């Protein structure tokens, strides 16, 4: 991730260099070379993804002429992506964001019990009822963790509870219910200890008011003030990601062009499924950046 940006755009290279210095971890080497087991450890994955996302944004803006740089009307991020969104909106400086996501990853890794599964093709009300039934029957938590797109949901909780919920979901009409390769039950009550840890870390963190609104994962409401952001970052660790409602909120506010910045393209697909009438641009690598500049989309 990000090797081409590092090699060709000085502003992007500066992001990786700052990440290496702030965390005393060679994030650049992990992104470019792995090993995969180290990179996919959540305490490394989280700062790595943040670094790549910010490197893309800053690298792109360094190539754009004055008056044409990306200045969003609103920002949002899916789970960890909220931190990149907050950097883009100048509520967090990069160094603070890197330290926060590193600690977030460590706390989540410590709360490693449980698992997650993707459920495809099932109405969310039916899946919510399935989760409630499993909790009632087994006394173990399982909840919807990600409302990603219509018919694309993710559940999270105790391992056996998630397995039982997958079985019931298929019986109720789900096309697929697939375990995910994760190291914990993210966005579920099993992350309570991690959320409490983040509350302590965030209480001491420097957070500024937003320069543009953040559409919050937990409520899909626009946030502008630092203290609201602080509460959001604590709550989102244990709360579901309301991505469907977040995209719908932005569309209702007149947003017609979305720019996904990061090493993947998952959100691009989700946004198109939520609102087919919007334009979505995906920036993952140096080729995407050059194409964006050449197209003059700004």
Which tens digit of pLDDT belongs to each residue from 207-259? 999 999 999 999 999 999 999 999 999 999 999 999 999 999 999 999 999 99
Interatomic CA distance for residues 82 and 76, integer angstroms: 6
Q: Looking at 78, 84, 156, 187, which residue is catalytic?
A: 187
Confidence of residue 298 (pLDDT cuts 50, 70, 90): low
Phi–psi pair at 257, nearest 5 degrees: -125, 125
Name all contacts of 133-137 with Cβ < 8 Å and 24+ positions apart. 133/168, 134/161, 134/164, 134/165, 134/168, 135/161, 137/164
Q: What is the mean pLDDT of the chain?
A: 94
Q: Could you give all domains of the chain from N- to C-terminal order, each with its CATH number?
A: 3-110+190-295 (3.40.366.10), 115-182 (3.30.70.250)
Angle at 55 between CA 51 and CA 58, to 5 degrees: 135
Mean pLDDT for 126-145 is 96
Interatomic CA distance for residues 160 and 149, integer angstroms: 25
Interatomic CA distance for residues 290 and 53, integer angstroms: 16
Q: Looking at 62, 79, 235, 265, which residue is catalytic?
A: 79
Alpha-carbon separation of residue 87 from 27, 35, 208, 243 (angstroms): 18, 27, 10, 19
pLDDT of residue 67: 77
**Does 276 participate in catalysis according to the annotation?**
no
**Does 79 participate in catalysis according to the annotation?**
yes
Confidence of residue 297 (pLDDT cuts 50, 70, 90): low
Strand locations in 150-234 (E): 152-157, 176-179, 214-215, 222-223
């Amino acid at each position: 991730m990000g090797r081409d940006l590092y090699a060709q755009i000085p502003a992007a290279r500066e992001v990786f260099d700052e990440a290496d210095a702030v965390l005393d971890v060679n994030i650049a080497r992990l992104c470019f070379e792995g090993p995969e087991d180290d990179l996919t450890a959540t305490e490394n994955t989280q700062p790595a993804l943040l670094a790549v996302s910010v490197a893309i944004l800053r690298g792109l803006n360094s190539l754009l002429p004055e008056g044409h740089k990306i200045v969003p009307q609103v920002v949002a991020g899916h789970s960890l992506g909220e931190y990149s969104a907050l950097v883009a909106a100048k509520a967090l400086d990069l160094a603070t964001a890197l330290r926060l996501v590193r600690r977030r990853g460590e706390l989540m890794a410590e709360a490693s019990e449980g698992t997650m599964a993707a459920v495809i093709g099932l109405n969310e009300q039916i899946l919510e009822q399935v989760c409630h039934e499993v909790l009632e029957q087994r006394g173990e938590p399982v909840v919807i963790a990600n409302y990603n797109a219509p018919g694309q949901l993710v559940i999270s909780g105790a391992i056996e509870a998630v397995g039982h919920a997958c079985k019931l979901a298929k019986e109720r009409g789900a096309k697929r219910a697939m375990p995910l390769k994760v190291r914990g039950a993210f966005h579920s009550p099993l992350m309570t200890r991690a959320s409490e840890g983040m509350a302590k870390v965030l209480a001491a963190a420097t957070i500024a008011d937003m320069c543009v609104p953040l559409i919050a994962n937990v409520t899909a409401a626009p946030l502008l003030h630092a203290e609201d952001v602080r509460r959001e970052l604590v709550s989102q660790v244990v709360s579901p990601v309301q991505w469907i409602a977040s995209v719908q909120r932005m569309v209702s506010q007149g947003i017609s062009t979305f720019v996904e910045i990061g090493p993947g393209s998952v959100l691009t697909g989700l946004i198109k499924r939520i609102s087919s009438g919007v334009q979505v641009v995906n920036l993952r690598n140096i080729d995407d950046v050059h194409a964006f500049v050449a197209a003059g989309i700004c």
